[in-house]
């Protein structure tokens, strides 16, 4: 099939590439001429495992093209995806300016009965606004063209997006058009062979499903962080509690890991947007507001542990920091807990030696060159001259260090484990003080 994708960001590039991999001819459109030029040269703007190889292979095979020219791209597409960003506005609501701009562009150039697919995460009712926008522009042109607007939200996890796209656990399609549903069934048939993953519903339910999914996952994370803070105070170990409740099949083990708070491009933005949607319709979403509040407070927990260990005096101290990205297998630092921690350490007069396998360039872009930040090329290099180690992101490479080597390198011999990836007894046996999330303060004295 001939497919057009507006947007070459995270969702658009992954979606377009995976559709091309299945034999479709895909044209990706973006207004950023520099990004398009780099993509044509094989330079991938994001780090996502497996994506670069697929982009290069499909571009070389002629199934995946990149352009800034919207008119021929729209003429090309039987299915036209809108996969542009919906960043939070000043009040936390989703900014639809990019989505509606694409809708106007489609209206100016639409020449056949294409199916327009909202892939962006958008507030309930956006499909109606897209339809009205396109119809309005067509009316200004004085033409009558049949078209459908469908909601087809994405459920891609950063760090595993290619796998999620190629092997989806569900394909949500919101539409009341038999023609549009049949077309999307055909498009998604290669992803749907093992069993029927398509979930059909109306437009507004599909739009709400995306927000509900992310809000539920964010709620599980904040709940476990709340439990961790209680465990800290009553002398329990949250990791044992996690195993105890995860064994209940009604709860399960997914997304019940306590830590330094969630970040990224989806959970913070989508929880806030759903809160604003609810309030705009006269409902006060108290649970969603609590999820945000717990997460915001949790991002300061690591600093509180560090500050407490050093008696509130961090001036002149240096800290090794492992992990800058908000999660493993990505270079994304949007709303990352590391950003809050860095600012708190700097305000307290401390210096940071940081290492992340992929996010160093993003950190350099965000913070520039500064005397109190050294971005290291190796994890052990970050320990040189450091008082203590702080683990913020649970990259696999950080999971099994030589704790005796850490003890030999760290001047103050303390490890602050923001993701509970270490066994406290193993750390303390090496002569290090251990601090985790919801695991109590180290009983060792150093």
Q: How far apart are CA 130 and CA 150, in angstroms?
A: 10
Tokens matching residue 375: 């971005």
Helix (H), strand (E), coil (C) string for 175-230:
CCCHHHHHHHHHHHHHHCCCCCCEEEECHHHHHHHHHHHHHHHHHHHHHHHHHHHH
Q: Which of 416, 372, 425, 363 is nearest to 392 (CA)?
A: 416
How many other C-beta atoms lie within 10 A of the C-beta of residue 384? 14
Q: Are the C-beta atoms of residues 356 and 396 closer than 8 Å to each other?
A: no
Distances (CA, A) of 68 to 27, 28, 428: 10, 8, 57
How many other C-beta atoms lie within 10 A of the C-beta of residue 222? 26
Q: Are the C-beta atoms of residues 109 and 71 closer than 8 Å to each other?
A: yes
Quick check: is 376 catalytic? no
Count, residues in the chain:
446
Catalytic member of 18, 28, 165, 266: 266
Q: Are the C-beta atoms of residues 13 and 35 closer than 8 Å to each other?
A: no
Q: Which residues are marked as active site?
A: 266
């Amino acid at each position: 099939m001939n497919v057009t994708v507006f947007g070459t960001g995270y969702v658009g590039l992954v979606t377009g590439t995976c559709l091309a991999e299945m034999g479709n001819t895909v044209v990706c459109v973006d207004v950023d001429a520099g990004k398009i030029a780099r993509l044509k040269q094989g330079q991938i703007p994001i780090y996502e495992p497996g994506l670069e190889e697929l982009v290069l292979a499909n571009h070389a095979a002629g199934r995946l093209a990149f352009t800034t020219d919207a008119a021929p791209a729209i003429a090309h597409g039987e299915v036209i995806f809108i996969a542009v960003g919906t960043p939070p506005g000043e009040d936390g609501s989703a900014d639809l300016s990019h989505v509606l701009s694409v809708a106007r562009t489609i209206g100016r150039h639409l020449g056949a009965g294409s199916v327009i697919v909202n892939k962006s995460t958008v507030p309930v009712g956006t499909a109606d606004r897209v339809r009205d926008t396109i119809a309005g522009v067509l009316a200004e042109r004085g033409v009558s063209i049949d078209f459908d607007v469908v909601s087809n939200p994405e459920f891609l996890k950063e760090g595993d997006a290619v796998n999620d796209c190629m092997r989806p656990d569900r394909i949500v399609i919101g539409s009341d058009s038999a023609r549009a549903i049949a077309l999307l069934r055909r498009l998604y048939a290669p992803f749907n062979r093992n069993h029927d993953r398509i979930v059909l519903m109306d437009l507004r339910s599909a739009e709400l499903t995306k927000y509900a999914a992310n809000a539920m996952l964010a709620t599980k994370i904040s709940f476990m962080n709340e439990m961790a803070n209680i465990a800290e105070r009553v002398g329990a170990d949250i990791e044992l509690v996690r195993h105890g409740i995860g064994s209940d099949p009604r709860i399960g083990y997914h997304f019940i890991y306590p830590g330094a708070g969630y970040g990224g491009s989806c959970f913070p933005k989508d929880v806030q947007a759903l809160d604003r949607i609810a309030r705009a319709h006269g409902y006060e979403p108290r649970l969603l507001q609590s999820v945000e509040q717990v997460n915001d407070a949790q991002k300061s927990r690591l600093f509180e542990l560090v500050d407490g260990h050093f008696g509130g005096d961090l001036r002149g101290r240096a800290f090794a920091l492992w992990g800058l990205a908000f999660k493993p297998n990505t270079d994304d630092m949007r709303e990352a807990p590391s950003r809050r921690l860095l600012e708190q350490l700097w305000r307290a007069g401390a210096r940071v030696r940081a290492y992340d396998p992929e996010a160093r360039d993003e950190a350099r872009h965000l913070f520039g060159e500064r005397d109190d930040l050294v971005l290291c090329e190796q994890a052990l290099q970050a320990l040189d001259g450091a008082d203590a180690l702080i683990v913020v992101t649970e990259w696999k490479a950080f999971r099994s260090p030589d704790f005796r080597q850490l003890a030999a390198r760290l001047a103050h011999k303390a490890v602050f484990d923001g993701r509970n990836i270490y066994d406290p007894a193993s750390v303390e046996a090496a002569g290090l003080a251990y601090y985790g999330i919801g695991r109590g303060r180290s009983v060792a004295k150093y």
